[in-house]
Each structure stands twice: as C-alpha cells, then as structure tokens.
Structure 1
Amino acid sequence: MQNLSRVSEYPSVEHCIGGVAEFSDTQSWIYSLDNPYLHGVYAPTSNELDVAGLQVEGELPADLYGAYFRNGPNPLFQPKNRYHPFDGDGMVHGVYFQDGQVAYRNRYVNTAALQGERSDGRSVSPGVMGPFDYQLSPFGIKDTSNTDIFYFNGDLMSLWYNAGHPYRLDSADLSTRGYYDLEGRSKRRLSAHSKVDPNTGELLFFDYGDEPPFMTCGVADAGGKVLHEVEIELPGPRLPHDIGVTRNYTILHDLPFFHDMAVLRKHGYRVLTFHRDMPTRFGLIPRHGSASELRWFECEPCYVLHTSNCWEEGDWVVMDGCRSTNPMPDTQPGEGELAHMLAYMRLEANNYRWRFNLRTGEVREGDIDDLNTEFNKTNPLYMGRKSRFAYHQRIPLLHEGGLTLRFTGLVKYDNETGRRWQWDYGTGVFGSEAVFAPRRGATASSAEDDGYVLTLVTDSNNWQSHCLVFDATAIDAGPVARVRMPHRVPFGFHATWARGEELFAPR
C-alpha cells in the first residue's frame, strides 16, 4: 500500500485512493485498508462523548431551542470484506441547544448485529459488496441502522437505507432502547425516510422487499399504533428510497433502477441497472386509502433519492425533490474492485418539480435548477402544505474533483422562482445534511424561513469540526454562530431537528 501520510497533499480532494490520514481517535486497522470511505473525513471515530458548555464563536440565537441529530456510518471493527459506507455501524451525533448553552453527545446505534460482533470481537458480516458467505454470518448482511434519524413519540427512530429494522434511541442520552416496534404490526422492517406529520403526529411509513408484496405503506398514530397498512402491487422488486406526503395523499415511487432477481437468487448479490427505456411512476394513494384507490402517473425515466415537500393545489398535487438521470455513473480507471461502489456513491442530481393532475391524469415536470445538489430539507412545520424554500447540499461532480460523495456548500432555493443563495464551507471543509430549525414558539402560520439552518462541518486542514448556525433568511451572509465540537465528526448521511418544546418537555 502506498504510504501517504497527509491527505492535505491532495488539495482538491480530501482523499485519494492510497492516501492515509493519521488520527488518534480511531482504530488503527483503517491504515491497512485502501478505501477512501475509511480515510480523511470518512474515518470512523472510536470516541463516545458527553460534553456540555461548548465554545461558541459569534452570537448564538436566544430562540434556538432543540437539538440537531445526525446519523452516519462509523465501523467499530475492521470490515471482513470490501467496505461500503452502508456497512458502517450507525453512530448518532446530537448537538443540544437550551438556555443559551450547547451540549454534545454521540453514541453507536447498538443494533443486534453490532451486539453480536462486540461479543465476537470482530466483524462477521459479508457487507453489501460481499463475497456473500452467509453461512459464516448469523445476521447475513448487517443492518447497521446508519442512514435515517427522526424524532417520533418522545424518542428517536434510526433506520437503514435498505428497509431495515427500526431502532429506538433515547433522545436525551442516545442510548439504544431496542427495536422500535409499531403496535399492531407483525413485521419490523421499515424504509428510511418514513415521515412524521407535524400536524397530526402520525408516522407515514413504507416498506419494500425482494418477495411479494414488494411494497407496503401505512400510517401509525402519534403513539406508534398502526392505523392502516396496505400492500402495493408492483411488477417486481424495487429500491425506492423516499415517499412524498401531502395532507391527504402518500406519493409512492416506482423507479426504473433495480436489481436482477435471477442474479440475486443464484449468486446472492444485487446487480443494479438503470432501465432508461422504462418510465418512472409515482403512485398517489389516499393516506388511509385502499390499493384500489392508488393512481399511477408516468414520468420521464429517473431515480429519486429525496423529496423536499409535497402539497395539493386544487386538482394538482405538487412534488419537489431532486432528480437523477444517471444513478449509476461510469466507473473510472484505476479504482479496482471498489470501482462500482465509488461510481454509485458519486451522486448526480438536481432540484426538480413534478405536478400531477388528479382530474385529468396530466403530468407536468421540469428542472427548478441544474446545479448538482441533494440531501434536501425544508421547514418541517410546512410538511404537506405549500412551501417555497428548500435547503440543499452542494455536491461536486467528478470533473470538479468529486471522487467521493461530499458536501462543499449550503444552497437555499426559492423553488417558485429558481433563485438560489449559497454559502461555500471553504477549501477542504465538508458539511452534513442541513436541517431547518423553527424559532422557539414558531407555528405553521409563521413565515416559512423564520428560523435557522444548522449543519455539522469538518475541516480537513486541521480536522476540527463545528456546528454552523445560519439565519435562514440570510444564508449567503454566512453562519451567525459556530459551535466548536469536542472532537472530529466523521461524514454522515441524514439529520433531523427535534424542537425543544417537545424534546425538553417533562415526561
């Protein structure tokens, strides 16, 4: 293995294959593995901390009240086989804002698979890239619960990208309380990006798999009791990643990017293909509706990772999100056995709008902007009702140095006009998914951008991490406050904001 001691030798990227970043807070085994998603900003941390009274640069808003939570991959043991970021054990980072003070803590999601590996003292999962020697792993491919995180019914729910088992985390100390079981549901699997309606407290969830029924969707009440679940008929197994939610409808995704079941059954692994000759379909079903009430709308072929918001306008249903017409970019020379993983993680997407007419069946769709952005969030109080603003992460394309998935800037969009405001994190500084934090006491009648936008960033020039706080009305003015984290925070996937009015209320 080529020994390069500092990733700063590569000023345009945080790491190149063969590079090594030296950290005192992570496991030594990372230095023996030539995988960019284990080095630099992606290197796991071995620290689990509880630190109060964090240092703040700038002025912390007095009405910033709640907590920013972010999930992501953080492998505890050396991977048994080739490593993919989906294989990294989930670790949740929490930044708590209360009474003008900021506290931080982080914890592993103590999944059943991680508990087994802790007992064994090593990784036994084959990982999503194999080889798939399942007989040696009691858990098969490890459900790491490293993808999504959101606040529901007084606790946090963490989820895996591939419709894994939801886990329940204590929102105060981040300890894992076990599986998050919904009352009245015999199955445990849920997909990442199930959603909580702020108006009703309901959980809108969906599930998918390789055997019929290939998809289900349902509703649980604010206490976690299932009110409704329905099987969705599909032509075969699919890999949806998100849903849309309006006040009256759930919008399901049937996307032409899926795996060959014959290969999966024979060899045990998924070969993903983007079927450019197949339309993308979006299915609108009443929130508590039956399968017979589902209506499909055909659109241009694409893949959709994340929706921003959806709402109803008369006969029309509007869905804003990010659209990819190239979900599997070309592999690059010299990347060896990691080439397909590296290509898959190079996310190409842009801000987009779809409109579906419930009376005529007409579809209208088109770009809002062509900038490469994703990991899009909106004001959670506006979920399911008309909104204008969305907050995205700027993602460099391959020709811009984007060898790996990384976030180099915050972008605020006015989706009505296409106007955007940006803040670049700086050379060698990489961000996390940003969340919108309504001001303390804000309601659904408050101005849509009356609040703050928060993200975690790590500076690869000195490996210092901060939580940045922006005034949502002036993103391009830069952060109004920077909270210094007590250690380096590795790259992660999704984040959420829990309001202090709920989080800190007496139980």
Structure 2
Amino acid sequence: MHAQRTHQEYPSVEQCIGAATHFADAPQWIYSLDNPYLHGVYAPTVDEMDVSGLTVEGELPADLEGAYFRNGPNPVYQPKNRYHPFDGDGMVHGVYFQHGKVSYRNRYVETEALLSERADGRSISPGVMGPFDYSVSPFGIKDTSNTDVVFFNDQLVTLWYNAGNPYALDGQSLKTQGAFDIPGRRHRRLSAHSKVDWATGEMLFFDYGDEPPFMTYGVADPSGKLVHEADIDLPGPRLPHDLGFTRNYAVLHDLPFFHDIDVLRKHRLRVLTFHRDIPTRFGIIPRYGKGSEVRWFECEPCYILHTSNCWEEGDWVVMDGCRSINPMPQAQDNEGDLSHMLAYMRLEANNYRWRFNLRTGEVREGPIDDLNTEFNKTNPIFHGEKSRFAYHQRIPLLHEGGHTLRFTGLVKYDNETGRRWEYDYGKGVFGSEAVFAPRVGADRSGPEDDGYVITLVTDSGTWKSDCLVFDAQDIEKGPVARVNLPHRVPFGFHATWVRGQDLFSV
C-alpha cells in the first residue's frame, strides 16, 4: 500500500516562488522582467563563497564521506530576449562531507560564452527562445553548461541539455579548468546525460545534432581515452535526453518528440511537436558495438527525460525510468508570450518499466506508479545490474499549483512491488534532485539501499537553504541530519554524488 502524502494542500504560485521578494545577492535587473523563472526560489545568486564548519542539526553519519554537487542556472547579465532557464549561466554548488565536518562551495562554470559576455559586459546571446539573430553573437545560442554534472577521470564535468560542449572543473575548488575533451572524437559535443559506470570507470556518452549523423554513441576509458565511437542511423534529427546501460549493452532513445527540420533550416525556428502516431524506439547496442549492430524495439509513443537503471535478465534487457505521454502540455492563455516555455517546463511523467527480449524481439511495458514524479536517481554501485529502489522528486501538476517546475517531496520507490514511501518537504519548501550516497565500504554484496539520500532544499518562507541527509532505508522519518547552508541556493537541475575515496584522494 502506498504511503499517504503528508498534506494535500499545495501553496499558491506567489507563496511558492516568492515573486515579490527582493534579494541582495541577486542581479537587480531581474526585477524589471516578468518571468517567474527569475524570481523567488528561481532567483539567481551571483555570490560565490567557501564556508567550512557548517552547523549540523541532528547527527551526521560517521560513514558518510564524499560530496554532493548540483548544477543549475544563474544568469549574470540581463537577457537580450525572453529568458528560459536553459539560458542561465551554469553554477555548481558543492556540499563536502569529510571527517565528520561539512563545508560548502559554489562557483560559476566559466564557459567560453560567459567569458565572452564578461568581456563585453552584457548578454549577447539570442537565447533558446530567440529571435535568432546570430550576427551579434559569436557563439550562436549560448551553451551555458548548466544542466548536468558528473565525475569522470578525477574531475567534474558539466553538461548542457542540448548536447553542448562540456567543461572540466576541479572537484575540490570548483575552479573551471577549461574545455572537457575526449581526444580522438570529431567534436567535443556531449549530451547532458552521458553516464559513468562505477564498475569499470568508463564513460558512456552520446550526442545528437541537426545534420547527419543525427546521433553518435561512444565509450571512453577511465583515463579519458576514446576507445569506441559509432554513428547511429536515425530517420532525422531527434532530441534524445538520456541513455541507459547494462553490463554488456547501451540503450539508446529515438523519441517521437522533435522539431521540424525544414522550418529550422528556412527560418531558424525550432517548432517542437509530439508525434503521437510515431512509435518510440529503443536501440540496444553492444557496449562496443557498431551502428549496424543496434537492435531497435518499438514501444508506445512517449517521451523520456531520465532513466533510472538498466540490467540484463537472461534474454531480456530491463529499463526503469520516467515516461511522459504529454511532453508539451497545453499552454495557458493567461501566461502571455511565455506560455509555451512555461508549458514545456511543466513536467508530466510517471515511474515506468520497459522489457526487451533480445532473442524474440518481444516488448513488455507498463507503469510502476501513476504519481507525477521525475528527476529519478538510484544507487550508482548497482548501475548496469539488477536493482529495485529509485529516488524521485514529486512534482505538482498544474491543477495542484504546478505553475512552474518545482519539487515538493522526496519519493522512494520499490520498483519490484510498486510501493512508494514519501517525505514532504513542507509548505513552500523546494527540493533539488536527490542523490544516493553509499555508506563507506558498501558494495553489491550488501543491501541496495545501504546508504543515504541527499538533497538541497530552500524554504520560501525564510529563504534559508539546507542540505538534508536521509537514511535511505527509512526516508519517511525525515532527515537524520540537516546542514545549514551559508546562503540561499536557487532551484537547479541535476546533481551527482562523488565518493570520498575518489574525490579527496585526487
């Protein structure tokens, strides 16, 4: 039986985003723009700081060593055109747990585009919503590297949602070291959700674009050397967002949600359409396989942002993730020229499982639960191997007050039974993507949920931010430790956990 929600009432839009609040640490130009993704919990902070010896409420686990990192948008300059969260300059926040103490650090990702704008003293990018006048922008649409962050080859790598150019950061100082590259590739571009396999140390990556080949897939070894790359044949340009992997395979996505290439080429406009008459396809390729070795499986039309985990069971490959059958919700008439952006950011998805038989070609698929959740994470020790637990963020729908994308609670799933456990962050409190942090010394021989779940929250009543640490085996009892952060942390996108043995030994 599912656990009941802590409360049934959702706060108003004004309560949620704190639209009337002014912050000394935010660029003051935001208050001249009527855009909810620049106000309240979304308001950027331009402060960068290093603070050690943070106050901890509760008891910090002795076997928690490592760091939680989260990326997100923090625009420095007033946008030339309409602002979209993908346009905000990337900022990484780090909470470090070492020897029973906690410290915090945050830094901008010093991208080529941000450095160019700093030199000019203003925004020069048209932004992802256009209009697209590239004659005044040397780098076209601004690649902000603000979406994802992973740890690979002893460095943090920041990634952008639209297969951008990644950047390398020092994991301890968060100083941008420069462009991240895998030597031997034709270009630097990587999708936001390239994956690192903890078992092998390899990075499995893909990218996509508007010209053939529309997708490439590859593998880099733990030292960052390219060991494999293959062109993937697709019918046209697509917008895949994630991939999965098992011990022997990768799972690629060909989704029926894409833009009209003719309109893009003629008018430089990206008109997205969900093609409900085109099946979703998943391509299973051997980890080091050629493009000709991909086996495609057709499923019900849907869009997928994030997978949880994939594994092999005999002839079957199993994939858990979050599935959307409405990736572009209806725009609201009262939201003006931002209506389509706001609709696109309103995420509707639920926990789901797909099964693909490599011998017979059979597909089985179905929901695990119907609650609106996403930004799903699992224990990285078990990535590529059979697992059952996943940790999601609960997202209110529009009729529940979901005017903007926000996370109101943590949800733990048992994907074998469909049971869920929930922790409500509280009225007007917003979470971040949660990560699973294995206990020091944990491995696959122990319980899968032997560790901690960590997230950041910001209270729109006090504008204080905390880092919450949950016992993964009992999230309903609330955080075992609450770390008081030194300043307000705005809403962001994706997070990762880096073990102390990997981070502090560098």
| TM-score in terms of structure 1 length | 0.97
> Could you report, residue by residue, the CA deviation over 1:114-170 in whole angstroms, capped at 9, with x for unpaired residues?
000000000000000011111011111000000000111110000000000010000
In the TM superposition, 1:324-339 aligns within 5 A as: 324-339=324-339
Aligned to 1:371: 371
CA distance in 2, matches of 1:452, 1:248: 28
Alignment partner, residue 401 of structure 1: 401
- Indicate yes or no: 2:186 matched with 1:186: yes
Match of 1:485 in 2: 485
Cα displacement (A) at 1:20: 2.8
**Equivalence map 1:32-71=2 (5 Å):** 32-71=32-71
Mapping of residues 268-417 of structure 1, within 5 Å = 268-417=268-417
Q: Which runs of 4+ in 1 moved over 4 A?
A: 14-18
Q: How many pairs align? A: 497
Residues 1:202 and 2:202 aligned together: yes
Q: Could you tell me how far apart the structure 1 residues matched to 2:115 and 2:444 are? A: 42
In the other structure, the counterpart of 1:75 is 75
User: Are residues 14 and 311 of structure 1, via their aligned partners in 2, closer, same or farther at CA, if it must alter by over 3 Å?
Assistant: farther
CA deviation after TM superposition for structure 1 residue 15, in Å = 5.9
Answer whether contact 2:198 2:383 (CA < 8 A) is retained: yes
Name the Cα RMSD after superposition.
1.1
Range 442-451 or range 242-251, more displaced: 442-451
User: What code does the residue aligned with 1:317 have?
Assistant: V
Give the match's secondary structure for 1:342.
helix
Give the Cα–Cα distance (whole angstroms) in 1 for the partners of residues 455 and 40 of structure 2: 19
Task: Give, in whole Å, the separation in 2 of the partners of 1:11 and 1:297.
Answer: 42
Aligned position for 1:235:
235
**Which has the larger displacement, 290-299 or 383-392?**
290-299
1:134 aligns with 2:134: yes
Contact 2:18 2:460 in 1 (8 A): no
Q: TM-score when scaled to structure 2?
A: 0.97
Q: Classify the secondary structure of the residue corresponding to 2:416.
A: coil
**C-alpha contact 1:18 1:35 (8 A) present in aligned 2:** no
Counterpart amino acid of residue 215 in structure 1: M
Q: Do residues 266 (structure 1) and 282 (structure 2) align?
A: no
How far apart, in 1, do the equivalents of 2:272 and 2:284 lie? 26
CA distance in 1, matches of 2:504, 2:135: 46
CA positional deviation for 1:18: 11
1:323 and 1:351 in contact (8 A); partners too = yes
Residue identity in the other structure for 1:180? F
CA distance in structure 1 between the partners assigned to 2:336 and 2:441 by the alignment: 53
Return the alpha-carbon distance in structure 1 between the equivalents of residues 114 and 367 of structure 2: 42
Partner in structure 2 of residue 93 of structure 1: 93
Percent identity, please: 78
Q: For residues 293 and 409 of structure 1, do their structure 2 counterparts lie closer, same or farther at Cα, with a shift above 3 Å needed?
A: same
Partners of 2:64 and 2:200 lie apart in 1 by 24
What whole-Å deviation, never above 9, does each CA across 1:407-432 have from its counterpart, x for those lacking one? 00000000000000000000000000
1:503, 1:489 → 2: CA distance? 23
- Whether the 8 Å contact between 2:11 and 2:401 is mirrored in structure 1 is no
1:214-255: CA deviations, max 9, x gaps? 000000000000000000000000000000100000000000
The equivalent residue for 1:116 is: 116
Q: How many Å separate the matches in 1 of 2:475 and 2:88?
A: 32
Aligned residue in 2 for 1:460: 460
Give distance in 1, aligned partners of 2:439 and 2:474: 15
Matched position secondary structure for 1:336: helix
Q: CA deviation at 1:11?
A: 4.2
CA contact (8 A) 2:18 2:41 kept: no
Q: Is the CA contact (8 Å cut-off) linking 2:17 and 2:460 kept in structure 1?
A: no
Question: Helix, strand or coil for the counterpart of 2:113?
Answer: helix
- Cα offset for 1:186? 2.9
Distance 1:375 1:14 in 2: 24
Farther off after superposition, 221-230 or 442-451: 442-451
Letter in 1 for 2:401: G
Which structure 2 residue ranges, 5 or more long, are not aligned?
1-9
Counterpart CA distance in 2 for 1:370 and 1:430 is 21
* Aligned-pair CA distance for 1:183: 2.0
Give the match's secondary structure for 1:71: strand
The C-alpha deviation readout for 1:36-87, integer Å capped at 9, x for no partner, is: 0000000000100000000100000011100000000000111111000000
Structure 1, gaps ≥5 residues long: 1-9
Cα deviations by residue, 1:291-344 (Å, 9 ceiling, x for unpaired)? 121100000000000000000000000000000000000001211110000000
Deviation at 1:19, TM superposition (A): 3.6
**1:17 positional shift:** 9.7
1-structure distance, mates of 2:85, 2:279: 29
Aligned equivalents of 2:449, 2:49: Cα separation in 1: 33
Preserved contact between residue 13 and residue 428 of structure 1 (Cα < 8 Å): no
The answer as to 2:247 corresponding to 1:247 is yes
Closer, same or farther in 2 for the Cα pair 1:277/1:118, shift >3 Å?
same
